[in-house]
Each structure stands twice: as structure tokens, then as C-alpha cells.
Chain A
């Protein structure tokens, strides 16, 4: 079997007495799209935060392509190929759409400390950014300021920046949250495209079951911070634990 691109071993975080993520051990392989589900407060976003480094782990480890990254800084993880999109849109609001993507390409190409050339003369960065905007169909908004964009376009841009990063592991935290029924499919198509065209690992936190059914190769269920089910979608959805986690014991019994 191929080496997992991302692994967590007994990954745990405690806030005071509360265990938000409880010894989660899991491995994600290249080309695999895993949906992480669970009720509100199950620890899905916290699990993401531990992997991408926003929160330090209390216990356990995170491995990226076999390398232990548990103690690395956020930028160091990004450099090694971990890409994360956030649940709440997190962009540079006063910069243009193009600049938001260009900055990501610039980071990937390690040109940030270039102090004596004009940013505008780095045509290749701009062209790469424009190509990504083309892919997500935001080219017509390239010179708009992000703050004035509708929510749906901001979410698209967030996905665009992740694509521009060309990571080994994509992490999407509810990418369609707050989007209208018409807009959501665009994002899902983009994710499907990533899955089709690259052999990157994709982690997706999502609530909408139809989305999961159409995209996921595998489902992980978190409940009270612990991993309670992990497997193929059909299997997991049918399992009793999941019914219980989602609807409560009483209802599941009925």
C-alpha cells in the first residue's frame, strides 16, 4: 500500500477538563476523499486545527508524508504541503481577488523575501494566479476588492487560493456553509475536479449528506471528540453508532 500522506496518532487536545479531540488515530491516503462528519461540537474543526497547527496538541502526533509535524509552525506545515480552507471566510479583504491568489503563488514559489524587484515584474506569478482564477471562473472579478464580493464568490476565492497552493493535502471546513442552493454546486464541482485531476488527499468537513454521498470515498464520524466510525460511506451511514451520534439514542432505538 502507498504511504499515507497524512496520519494522526492518538491526537488529543484538552481544554481544561474538557477533551475536545480524544485519541484520534487515522491515516489518509493520496487520491482519497474523506468526509468528516459529526454533530455540532463533535470536534471536527478542532481536529482540523490540530492538523494545520492553529491549536497545539496536548498529546499524540500528526505526520505528513511520514514526517512528524506536530511541533512545526503553521507556515512550516503549509510549506510541506498542507493546505487549509477555513469555515469562516478568511481572506485579505482590502486586497484584490487577483492579489489574494498571487500572494499564495508567491508563497509557494518562495519569493516573499524578494525585496529589490517589483512585484509587478514577476509575470509568472501573476499568470499562475490568473490561471487559477480562470479555473474557478472568477477571472471577471480579478481586480475587484474582496470585501465587496458576495459571500458565494468569497467562498469560491477561498477554494481558489487553496488550489493555487497546490498542496498534498486539501482540508475543507464546510466549504458550502452559508451558500445558496445555486452556488454550492460550483464549489462541489471544484472539489470533485481536484479529486479527479490530482492524487491529493482531501479532507472535507460537511453536513449535507447528499454532498457526502456524491463525493466521499470514506466517512469518519466524530462524536464528543472521539472517532466512533470510519469506513465506506454506505457502511458508515447504515451503522447504529452513526444513527445514535446524529439523532440521539432514544430516536435511534425507535
Chain B
């Protein structure tokens, strides 16, 4: 059963298996384990970024394609939901239609980019995606009549998914259940399903061909695989998954804006997480995202505490000043790339 869900691609390491189970358990019961708005926000962000990063891993880690347009597809899903609710009013039909429209647009865009540019060398493909993504980002911020420009758009979602909705009179497991929790479980389960779908794809005969192409595209051609088509399908799948993640993100945040979906920073975050977690493993997206998002959200707090408790020492409190958190995050990256060139998952699987 478990094997079927994981598509026969288990963690292959006891420690990794334990870590993944812990993550799954924590995310599944996050509202009860860590009551509070901020931790719920963090948990939802982790779920969504796992899917977003895994979809990028499908492209980079499995197919060996470097793309900088991933946040564009993420944004298409998010804006799809926002624009649909704006046009059609609040309702589940708008959410579903917006999600589908955003995903379809992302898929078509990805197909066009892929067929036009995957024949060229990898570096050109990367540049083309960068150019298109930048152009789209500029368009979105300029067409403020439609997209809300830099301010973005607020999304009105059905009441059952908002904090105002109270389905139960009494607390459940010590938590006052609200629509926010229902929304969280919508995020959690859709992300879980999407992740398992991707795990299935990379372990299919198709996924094996992608890995073969990444290893040696010349040979893949020689044994009869049409490399361009495989790469195009991988690009489309990855874009569609990113768009779905974007739609879920928009529904969760009830807001969409250039900075939350289309930003270059997010693209860099995705790249870093894939590398830290371990390319071409899928599970790397899970472990990497958890480490990264936790560091991003809580490193400042931890450093504040550490800075105060070392106040009696010279220099140390200054180094641990919360304002320096970005420097420490940077140092963490450098160290992790240096010591785990195959990522955390690669390391745990003993293929460092």
C-alpha cells in the first residue's frame, strides 16, 4: 500500500524515512500541535513550497533543464484564481475555474517556450525563460487595471474557508476550529496529492527516460528517444504543477501580488531549496523546504534569543544580532553545498 502511494520509490534510508514521517505527521496535525496564526502560516507555506520546489526538481533534477520561468507559472495559477473570483464573484466554481484556467495557460505557455527553445543549448533556454519571465512580471505590474499592479489583488473566497467561519461550538482537541483550519487542510491534502502524483511521474517509464536524457542526451537520442518531445512534456507538466501550487497559494493567502508569486527572490529560493535538499530525488524538495522555510521564518527569532543570552561575551552578541540573519543564512547555504554536494537527501542516502 505504502509502496503503491510512493510509486515504489521509498526513502532508501532509515533516517530519511523517519525525517519524512516526522514532517508528514507535523504538517498533518500542525493546527493542533502549534496553535497560533503564525505557525499555521508557516505550515501552509511549507506545504505549498514543497509542491513548487518538487515541480522544479522534476525539471532541473530529473530532466536536467534549467529554467528561470518557474515563478511565472506559479503566478499564472495564483492570478488565475484572483481574476476568476473578480469576474465571477465569490464561490467554489470561481476557484475551480480560475485554477483550471491558470493551469491551462501555464501549460500552453510552457509548451510554446519548450518547442521554440528546447532545441537550442541549455544556456540559451535558461536565458529565454529568464527574459520571458521578466517580461511577464513587468506586464503584470504595469497592467494595473487588470492585475492590480504592484498592489496585487485581494481574493474573496467562500466563507467556509475564512477565519470568520466557526463550524463547531466547542473547541476540538483544545483548538477553536475555524474556516482557516479547513483552508489549511485544503492546502495540505491538495499538496500531498500533487506531491504523490509527481513522485509517480518520476518513477514511470517516462521519468526514467528523463533521467536518461539528463545523464546523456546524445545517447538517449541514439537509442531512439526523441529528446525534444520528452523535454517539452516535462516542461509542461512541471509548469502545470507550479500553476496548481500557485492557485492553492492564492486561495490560502486570499491575496496575490507580484512580490508573493512572481519575484526573482522566490525563483532564487526555489533554486536554493532544490540544491540544499538534493536534486533529482523529490524528497529533497520536502526536506529542503522545511529547513529553508523554518530558517527564513525563525532564524531571526532564534538569533535574537542567542544574542541576548550571550550579551556578556565580546563580539558574539553582535554577530548574532537578528539583523545579521541573512548573513547566517548565506553561510548555512555555502556550508551545506560544500559538505552535501548531493543535497541533504543525497547525503542521507549515502551518495554524497
Contact between B216 and A119 (Cβ–Cβ < 8 Å)? no
| Chain A residues within 8 Å of B223, by CB | 78, 103-104, 107, 161, 165
Partner of B208, one of A52, A84, A106, A165: A106
Complex Cα distance, B224 from A74, in Å, reads 7
| Chain B residues within 8 Å of A125, by CB | 205
Residue of B nearest to A106 (CB): B205
On whether A108 and B219 interact (CB within 8 A), knowing A117-B204, A120-B203, the answer reads no
Contact between A114 and B205 (Cβ–Cβ < 8 Å)? yes
Task: Judge whether A118 is part of the interface by a CB distance below 8 angstroms.
Answer: yes
Contact with A along B220-248 (1 / 0, CB 8 A): 11111111001001000000000000000
Contact between A116 and B204 (Cβ–Cβ < 8 Å)? yes
Residue of B nearest to A108 (CB): B224
Task: Judge whether A178 is part of the interface by a CB distance below 8 angstroms.
Answer: no
Contact with A along B191-234 (1 / 0, CB 8 A): 00000000011011111110110011011111111110010010
Looking at chain B's contact residues, the main secondary structure is helix
Contact between A119 and B226 (Cβ–Cβ < 8 Å)? no
Task: Judge whether A22 is part of the interface by a CB distance below 8 angstroms.
Answer: no
| Chain A residues within 8 Å of B35, by CB | none
| Chain B residues within 8 Å of A74, by CB | 221-222
Task: Judge whether B321 is part of the interface by a CB distance below 8 angstroms.
Answer: no
Contact between A78 and B203 (Cβ–Cβ < 8 Å)? no
Chain A: interface residue total (CB-CB under 8 A)? 36
Contact between A111 and B212 (Cβ–Cβ < 8 Å)? no
Residue of A nearest to B221 (CB): A74
On whether A115 and B224 interact (CB within 8 A), knowing A90-B219, A93-B216, the answer reads no
Complex Cα distance, B216 from A114, in Å, reads 20
Task: Judge whether A113 is part of the interface by a CB distance below 8 angstroms.
Answer: yes
Complex Cα distance, B209 from A74, in Å, reads 16
Task: Judge whether A135 is part of the interface by a CB distance below 8 angstroms.
Answer: no
Contact between A118 and B219 (Cβ–Cβ < 8 Å)? no
Complex Cα distance, B218 from A93, in Å, reads 13
- The smallest beta-carbon distance between B55 and chain A, in angstroms, is 15
Partner of A120, one of B8, B218, B233: B8
Contact with B along A67-105 (1 / 0, CB 8 A): 000000111001100001010001111110001001110
On whether A114 and B212 interact (CB within 8 A), knowing A107-B223, A161-B223, the answer reads no
On whether A91 and B216 interact (CB within 8 A), knowing A103-B223, A111-B205, A115-B206, the answer reads yes
Residue of A nearest to B227 (CB): A75
Contact with B along A25-62 (1 / 0, CB 8 A): 00000000000000000000000000010000000000
Complex Cα distance, B200 from A117, in Å, reads 7
Contact between A118 and B208 (Cβ–Cβ < 8 Å)? no
Contact between A103 and B212 (Cβ–Cβ < 8 Å)? yes
Task: Judge whether B7 is part of the interface by a CB distance below 8 angstroms.
Answer: yes
| Chain B residues within 8 Å of A79, by CB | 224
On whether A117 and B212 interact (CB within 8 A), knowing A91-B219, A107-B224, the answer reads no
Contact between A75 and B215 (Cβ–Cβ < 8 Å)? no
Contact between A122 and B221 (Cβ–Cβ < 8 Å)? no
Contact between A119 and B219 (Cβ–Cβ < 8 Å)? no
Partner of B203, one of A84, A91, A118: A118
A-B contact pairs, 20 of them (CB 8 A): A73-B221, A75-B226, A75-B227, A90-B219, A90-B222, A92-B212, A92-B216, A92-B219, A103-B212, A103-B220, A103-B223, A104-B224, A115-B201, A115-B233, A117-B205, A118-B8, A120-B8, A121-B8, A122-B205, A125-B205
Contacts A90-B218, A92-B216 aside, 12 further interface pairs with beta carbons under 8 A come to A52-B222, A78-B222, A79-B224, A91-B216, A93-B216, A103-B223, A106-B205, A113-B230, A114-B205, A115-B206, A121-B8, A122-B205
